[in-house]
Amino acid sequence: MVDPRESVYDFAAQLLDGREVCLDEFRGKVLLIVNTASKCGFTPQYAGLEQLHRAYADRGFSVFGFPSNQFGAQEPGSEAQIGAFCQKNYGVSFPLFAKIEVNGPHTHPLYRFLKRAKPGIFGTGRIKWNFTKFLIDRQGRVTSRYAPSTVPMALAAAIEDLL
């Protein structure tokens, strides 16, 4: 059970450039938090994530990308390589964070929170693959969890409802 006082704003994470960011800096925004990878069949979703980010950023929305190498070693690069790949191939302008673990004993605390707040199918908390998506409301609460196969633009209506 998630403590109702807990929100995404209670966590911090390191950006690709190594700078630690308190997510409280994004208080009041609608967020889409996604675990990403550069060498995955779903990698082209970066284009849709960027499209969402640009479409709604001026209304208080942001995508957060959290690279993870836990699924088929599909994110083997360094933080600098990840950033260069995302910029060159998809023009990513949303925040990209340093590589993290989303499952197992070294799961990043933010992902522990996300999985508790919105477990997957049949109540399993595990992230099944790259590009699992969590939609967060302006109060920092997890409203929805989406499968990797859910294309980013399919979330537009849900995002607009929260804006």
Residues annotated as part of the active site: 40
CA 76 to chain centre: 18
On the 0-12 / 13-18 / 19+ scale of CB atoms within 10 A, 136 is buried
The CA distance from 82 to 88, in Å, is 10
Strands (E), 5-161: 12-14, 20-22, 30-36, 61-67, 133-136, 142-146
CB 86 within 8 A of CB 38: yes
